[in-house]
Chains A and B, each alone.
Chain A
């Protein structure tokens, strides 16, 4: 019985042909797939498709699992934003609709309003450069979560930093400061912006507060980059003022910042927060050095655009 059940594994004489076909087929398949992948640029150029444009419809279809769908859409928004940012994209067409659907599916997903507004408001390529959409998102958050005062802080921040509308920013901080549980500094922020019309000191206050509240390292890194750019902006403004004074008093153009040192306007050539000396450009305005690690996209226009007078 046992002898009968014993089996041996032998390759038939013509078996090599099938093995050859199998191996060649796999090799050809691998090669074909690589060709397809290398020519898939046209797919990436397409932004993607939103099969559902209404979060409310999706929530009804979810049979009570709207929260889970909201998480999926938020993840999709984060992934979309990250992909676009890596590609230095200038247009984030799907970001606002994705965030709208997310917050319609789960109107209490606070993080989607807060970080979503940052994603929308930041200038490209850091963000979508759509501060008006960010305002709409935060306003929807306020309507759905009236007791959450932090949204007023976000609203004030967008008005202040992205739209430079200091009056509206001050109003948002003031309204926020009147919400139950609001921190005392909201009132101070409103007062400072109203009085000063938006200065570096206030901006630093805002960013420091955001740094304090940041929950992820990515946000903290972004805030530190903004703070460094802010410091550089302030330095450049002061240096440009010195250059103007030099020009007026000496009656000539300084050749470099070294000229200001020689003339006694500066003790030494100052360095930016990344440790690289500032330079005097050919157009006569001060800017960060070529090796500087300061993100130029975060510098204010007066510091980054060569021709702008200070």
Chain B
């Protein structure tokens, strides 16, 4: 089973790497990270802070775009090309296909995030002329950004199983935006005075992916390390959410007829 999942994952990785849009996004992200050096020069006293904010935001935004635009085509492309019949006619179980697809795209994002992180550290070295111990703490923030990618890829894969690529992209993006406003949504529910509305918003708060759990860029720009309990809790949250989304994707995919 592991061998089959590995084969699908590697195949998905190779397929993703061939996407030209991926290279455009990486180049654009690296350019933006590099331009932080220039932006910082027209400000006052925030060279390092601006480089970290702009660099990490670039990694987060472009990684998110990669996760969405490649993730939405993972399953639907196989269905459109009818290659799904070839794959499923082989001794490959459907859940292996879904997990393999997910891990393949995750591997693509690991490689891309590593490249962008490299570019970010080169820019940081250029500004500071050295790399200090506290700069290593930024890897924790990048790890948190990556956890967001892991959830977004899961969501994109889930929607890819039930909808068209365009609608999948739309739904994934909407969930990402909503996931950033969950605390406000819950607050609206509490302030509304309606018990039902309060219960509904509380339910949404726990069901939808809470991306604000992973927002630590601003803090890390001020040299604050992510607390160890947050690292553990954040990792656990992402793992649980990915498990739920992948399970739901498998359930839907198992029932689909081609």
Contacts and interface: CB of A to CB of B under 8 A. Distances in A.
Interface of A: 60, 63-68, 70-71, 74-75, 78-79, 106, 108-109, 111, 115, 215-216, 218
Contacts of B215: 64
Contacts, number: 68
B53 A79 contact: no
B45 to A, nearest CB: 4
A74 B217 contact: no
B180 A111 contact: no
A216 B44 contact: yes
Interface string B43-64: 1111001100110010011000
A67 B218 CA distance: 5
A20 B64 CA distance: 50
Nearest to A114: B45
Given A60-B181, A67-B218, A108-B222, A74 B43 contact: yes
Contacts of B43: 71, 74-75, 78
Contacts of A65: 53, 57, 60-61, 217
* Secondary structure of the B contact surface, majority rule: helix
A66 B212 CA distance: 12
Contacts of B49: 67, 71, 109
A215 B48 CA distance: 14
Nearest to B42: A75
B28 interface: no
| Shortest beta-carbon contacts, A-B, top 8 | A67-B218, A64-B215, A75-B43, A68-B53, A111-B45, A67-B53, A71-B50, A78-B44
Nearest to B216: A64
Contacts of B50: 68, 71, 75
B126 interface: no
B221 interface: yes
B78 to A, nearest CB: 31
Contacts of B13: none
A286 B39 CA distance: 47
A266 to B, nearest CB: 44
B177 interface: yes
A240 B54 CA distance: 56
A67 B45 contact: no
A201 B212 CA distance: 52
B184 interface: yes
Interface in B184-233: 184, 211-212, 214-215, 217-219, 221-222
B54 A115 contact: no
A215 B53 CA distance: 21
Interface string B76-105: 000000000000000000000000000000
